[in-house]
Structure 1
Amino acid sequence: MTLRHKSREFALQMLFEWDMARQAPARVEQFFWKSARATDETRRFANQLFEGAVAQAEAIDALIGKLAENWRIERLATVDRNILRLAIHELRAGAVPPKAVIDEALELAKTFSSAEAPSFLNGILDAARKHLEAEKSA
């Protein structure tokens, strides 16, 4: 398992905790890292992803609501909602190729969500990728 994949797993777990408890991100990180073991580099990248997704959650949720036809954001499974938040944050940042971001999100879904989740999330993430590319071109 790569450092970045493990960081994404940790970021997803923190996002899940934040989504459920709505505590301050710093408090979620503090609590999470008391029990999770990771290298400094893994921890830094996980915190960066988590903090970025939380900071952009409102805008990301609006985009998810627009792209997830017939689904309200609050009706999505908590883990799926947070996989989407994490991946869309990375897509928006543009530091990682979109295909890699989507592939990583689907791997997280295979590990943490239902059997149907990867195809559902793939559709939304592909639409998000196209939407964000169109925004950049405009």
Structure 2
Amino acid sequence: MSLDPAEANTANRHKGRECALQMLFAADLTDTGAEAVIDNYWRELGDGAVDMATRDFADRIVAGTLTHLEDIDELIKKRTEHWRIERMALVDRNILRLAVFEFRYCDTPNPVAINEALEVARRFSTYEATQFINGVLDGIRLDIEAAGTAEPDSGQPATTQQ
């Protein structure tokens, strides 16, 4: 059974987000920059079956997230008053970062970014984490929409909506 182009794009983007999370996790753990973590991931860990469009999508998310990390972390901190970002589980904080990057710098609709973050969390984290991530992301979404700052950044990922 083959996927139509829209379904294939959705599946590619989902896989791309999973790969991006793994790269962000590695960057966070090793304090490695975007270029090195991307190169290392695809050389050592990357799924050889991932097509170039998925790989490019993942690479752009990682590079963009790491470029805008301070801004992204500030948005997360505003919605996690009783949680220091450094104390959050590595997986959870990087799922949050990935989704907030999509909110701010991609043309992915915010509800889609939240849903995708929750799907990734279900695979890589815990049930309780999905509830936490959902609450934090919904609050950040409201903050961004109220401020009117959810605009695509021309040099960053996602040129088509999911």
TM-score (norm 1): 0.95
Q: Distance in 1 between matches of 2:28 and 2:66?
A: 9
Q: State which of 130, 141, 144 in structure 2 corresponds to 1:118.
A: 130
1:17-58 alpha-carbon deviations (Å, 9 max, x no partner): 000001121111111001312111011000011111111111
RMSD: 1.2
Q: Distance in 1 between matches of 2:106 and 2:54?
A: 19
Aligned position for 2:148: 136
Q: Distance in 1 between matches of 2:79 and 2:127?
A: 21
Please tell me the residue identity of whatever aligns with 2:29.
Answer: M
Higher helix share: 1
1:72-121 alpha-carbon deviations (Å, 9 max, x no partner): 10011000000000000000124011110000000011000112011100
Query: 1:1-138 alignment to 2 at 5 Å?
Result: 2-34=11-43, 35-36=45-46, 37=48, 38-136=50-148
Please identify the structure whose Cα radius of gyration is greater.
2
| Cα gap change, 1:67 to 1:51, in 2 (>3 Å) | same
TM-score (norm 2): 0.82
Moved over 2 A (4+): none
| Cα gap change, 1:97 to 1:132, in 2 (>3 Å) | same
Structure 2, unaligned runs of 5 or more: 1-9, 150-162
SS at match of 1:2: helix
Percent identical residues:
45
